[in-house]
Structures are given as C-alpha cells and as structure tokens.
Amino acid sequence: MVRLVTLRYCFLVVLHYCAVNMTSAMFMTYLTRVGGLDDRWAMIAYAAYFLALTSVEIPTGAGSDVGGRKNAFVLASAFNAVSVIAYAFSGNFWAFAASAALGGIGAAFANGTLDSWFVTQLRRAGRPKESYDLIFTKVELFKCLVAGISGFIGIKFAGQTMQFPWFSAAVFYILTGIFAYMLMAEKDIAERAPVPLPQMWKMVKQTARDGVAYGRANHKIWFIVTTVAALYATVMIPNLLWQPHFLKWLPGVESLGYVWLGMMAANGFGVLVVMVPRLLGFEMYDRKTLLLCLVVAGIGIFGMALFRDLENSLTLFFIYQAGRGAFQPVNRAFLHRNIESEELRTTISSMEAIGHHVGAAVGLVIMANVVYFVSREVALMCAGAFLIVFAAYWWRRRKRC
C-alpha cells in the first residue's frame, strides 16, 4: 500500500510541478515585455497573488480537512488553469494582478493539500513520523529535476511565442486535476454519509478555529510560521529580480534557461547536503538546521548584488539557491512531524502557508519601492541582510521557545 500511495503522490507531484514551473524561468520577463511594466509594478502586480492567498488560506485548508483533500486539490487545479490562461491574454497591470489573484486562490486550495493527503495515508499504513525526513527530502530532490526540465522547456519555447508556456501550464493543471480525481483515494470521505451544506459550513468554521488554536499553542509551529515569513519576505526579491539582474550580462532571453537549470541544480545540491547526513543517521531536521539554511540563503542574496560581474554574482546566486533547497525538505518534515492531528493537518499547514504569503506580499511591496527609488542591487542587499539578522536573532533565543 505504501508503495502504491508513494507512486501516486510522485506522479501528481510531477504533473503539478510541471505546471507550476513551466512559466517560472520567464515570469518577470513576460510581465515587463508583454505588459510593459517596470520592475516595481511587476512586483506589486504579483503581490496580488499572495494577498488573495492570505485572505482564503485558512478557510480552504479547513474545507480540505472537512470536505476531502482530493476535492480541494481538484479545485486548485481548476483555479490555476484559469489563472495561467488569463495570464496568456493579459497585457496590463490590472489584468496581471487579477490573473495573479486567481492563481492565489488556486494555490490556497493546493497548499499543504497533497502533502497532507500523503502523510495521512502513510500514518494509516503504520509509517512512523521519523520516516517523513527522508521521504520529503527525496521528493524535494525529485521536484528540482522536474522544475528544471519544465522551466527550461518553457523559456525555450517562449523564444518563439511568449504565450506558449502559459497554455502549456494550463494543460498540465488540467491533467493534474483529472488524475487527482482518479488517484487520490480517501476511504473515510467516500464512506461518509452526505452532509447538508449548512452543517458542512459549521464543520469548516469549527475546524478552522480548532486548527488555529492548535497552531497557536504549539511553539514549534509558530517558529515555522515566523521563519517561513522571514524567508519569503526576502527570497521573493531575488526570485523575481534574477531575470533582469542577469539579463544585462546575457546575450538574450533564451540564455535564462541555462541559469534556470543551474538554479535547480543548486537547489538539488542543497537537498543532498541535508539528505546525506540523515542517511548516515544524524538527526538534523531541527531548528538549528533551518536557521543555518537561512544564513546561507541570506549570504547568497547579499553577495549576488554585491558583485558586479556575471561569474561571481551567479556563484553567490547559486549559493542562495542551495540554502533555499536545503531549507525546503527540513521545513516540510519538521512541520508534519509536529502535527499530531490528522483531522486538522491541512488547516495547520495553512498557518505555515500564511507566514509564506504575508511575508512575500510585504517583502514585495516594500522592496518594489526600494527598487524604484534606489536600485535592484540595494533591494537585494537589504533582503539578504534582513535574513541574516533574523536568523541570528532566532539562534540566540531558540532554546527559550
């Protein structure tokens, strides 16, 4: 059973991450060239994604726990498909912001849903929570490969028509929804008697309250929420600015595809850095490792702006990607190891996701204005410095929490 569930989970991960990353290597370039936006307004338009996410994150998480993770993931795929099609037909700030908001709602339904379904199936099969470490690490390594290939293909075809990656992403989202409906078995939901809509809504509200109360009472969950907020308040800056930052040295847009492959390779290297010691029996999926990952990422972000030549700037950028890559599996395993309730798993995961969204939206809006009034390089250095200071602060007080 475990093998079958894992294969289904990995197959859905492939489809979903192909869709997510098909447009990643040319996202900022698309907004600036097709929409005519400058860096500042492109960043603010994308902030609508995180604002929409934040507004519905807890209700969609609770709805997933009550109404079924499969149903939520199918809805996520539908919203995301509509979002990327809307991007393909957008050509101004408001159209991009509306497309981003639709994608935010889709992401709210998706966040934590597939992982929660997978962990629930593992626990019902008797797998101990300590096994999550290596499972999520191997999956994260797999995601790097999928993301690298899909992003590279997307930007290569974008050289012929900039809309191609968006329509391709829509196809993958539709396939994700179809196969999720077919493969995400939930025996307890299927066997449950139909629940009237008013009662269902009461159950969703109660689940949301219970999940928030559970998360607030758990110091480790709050640590994850604040750490993820700090990380995404900063990493969204290089995630959006790397394309215009490196294009000033590169011969053309197509060259960004090779940078993207290097990014995914660096992400994978970061995953290996934490996976190998864990395979050797070292217990390192803890707060210290997460904070060290933040420091490495912060140094990389600061350094990519500090150096004014392609080779050194790119090297530091890849160091940042390695730190970010190492952070992801440790964060995911640490979070799910500290959630004991299967009935509230997606709702509590939504709290971690809210940290991500709030941090990203605030960081984008603030740094968009730094870019406009000062420069990209100063925005990047501010982001990196903040991440290092935040990690140092939590390092000093981690034993008291």
- CA distances in angstroms from 233 to 57, 224, 354, 357, 362, listed in the order given: 18, 14, 12, 9, 6
User: CA-CA distances (angstroms) from residue 295 to 63, 69, 75, 326, 384?
Assistant: 36, 35, 37, 12, 9
| Residue 53 confidence (pLDDT) | 74
Ramachandran region, residue 184 (left: φ > 0; alpha: ψ -120 to 50; beta: rest) = beta
Per-residue pLDDT at 398 = 60
The pLDDT value recorded for residue 364 is 86
Res 355: pLDDT: 75
- How many other CB atoms are found less than 10 A from the CB of residue 292? 18
Residue 340: CB atoms within 10 Å: 12
Supply the pTM of this predicted model: 0.80
Rg, Å, the chain Cα set: 20
Per-position DSSP letters for 290-320, written without gaps between them: HHHHHHHHHHHHHHHHH--SHHHHHHHHHHH
Structure tokens at 240: 């959006």
- As a whole number of angstroms, the distance between CA 134 and CA 338 comes to 16
**Ramachandran category for residue 282: left, alpha or beta (phi over 0 → left; psi -120 to 50 → alpha):** beta
Q: Is the distance from CB of 363 to CB of 233 less than 8 angstroms?
A: yes
The region that residue 192 occupies, defined by phi over 0 for left and psi between -120 and 50 for alpha, beta otherwise, is beta
Q: Angle at which helices 345-373 and 376-397 pack, to 10 degrees?
A: 140
Q: Which CATH architecture has domain 2-400?
A: Up-down Bundle (1.20)
Q: 124, 4 in Cβ contact below 8 A? A: no
For 260, 285, 304, the CA distances from 353, given in Å and listed in that order, are: 25, 19, 27
Q: Looking at this protein, which amino acid is placed at residue 308?
A: R
Burial of 269 (0-12, 13-18, 19+ CB in 10 A): middle
Average pLDDT along the chain, 401 residues, taken 10 residues at a time:
81 90 84 83 85 76 73 90 92 90 86 79 73 76 85 76 84 94 74 56 64 68 79 86 90 87 93 83 79 93 93 95 89 76 69 75 87 91 92 74 49
Q: Tokens in use for 75?
A: 């809805």
